[in-house]
Amino acid sequence: MGRPLPAIRPAHADDAAFIARNILASQRGLLPRGWLDIALGWDEPRCLAFVEKIATAQARSWWHVSHFIIAEVGGEAGASLCALPAAGTGPAARAAIEEIAGATEAAAIFRRGAYARNCWVQGGEGEWLIEHVATLPQYRGRGLVQALIGHALAAGKTAGFERASISFLIGNAAAERSYARAGFTFAEEKRDPVFQALTGSPGFRRFTRAI
């Protein structure tokens, strides 16, 4: 018998620890640190605790559990992603961090995270955004990401969107293959030497597809 098909469900508040882990993993890609690691400047347990809080904050940013769907295998969460309108994601992220960290510390967090500004690519305000895609290592190769993306695209179409956008670190070949398999094609990329010196990746690449 083949492996069971994944069950896709919305994330809930009690998934915050799983979502936090996957947010950090997705931002890191194949690198040791991602945007939140660098912007927060803390060790992993403290970063995870903070991300759990913004995942359940009143401000519903793209880190919030309400924007995530989860793929389960045998009742166990194996992968997740977030899907939401691209419009307003920046202000929502700032509001979430300010809610949890306070205005003064939030300003320092965004100051440390400004290194990504020159190469971040997100797409048009009218697009349906898919981000923070990650799978636990033991569940890779089972089609969980493809199932999640299929559900996310259907949700975007139902919401009235005609195009979806997804961004990832240049050099993350596994992510690029996965998104290409889901029908996404190259739209743009941006590179920045300061970003590369700090992270090890030249910058970000963005794929899009019609939905």
Domains and CATH numbers, the chain: 7-210 (3.40.630.30)
Name the token pair of 4.
């069971």
Letter for the amino acid at 95?
Answer: A
Give pLDDT, residue 96. Answer: 98
Give pLDDT, residue 2. Answer: 62
Give pLDDT, residue 84. Answer: 98
Give pLDDT, residue 126. Answer: 94
Helix (H) or strand (E) holding 95: helix 89-101
Name the token pair of 160.
């009235």
Q: What is the mean pLDDT of each run of 10 residues along the chain (211 residues)?
A: 82 98 97 97 97 98 98 96 96 97 97 97 91 96 96 98 98 97 98 97 98 96
Give pLDDT, residue 1. Answer: 53
Paired sense of beta strands 203-210 and 163-169, if any = antiparallel
Angle ∠(156,70,13) on CA atoms, nearest 5 = 100
pTM, to two decimals: 0.95
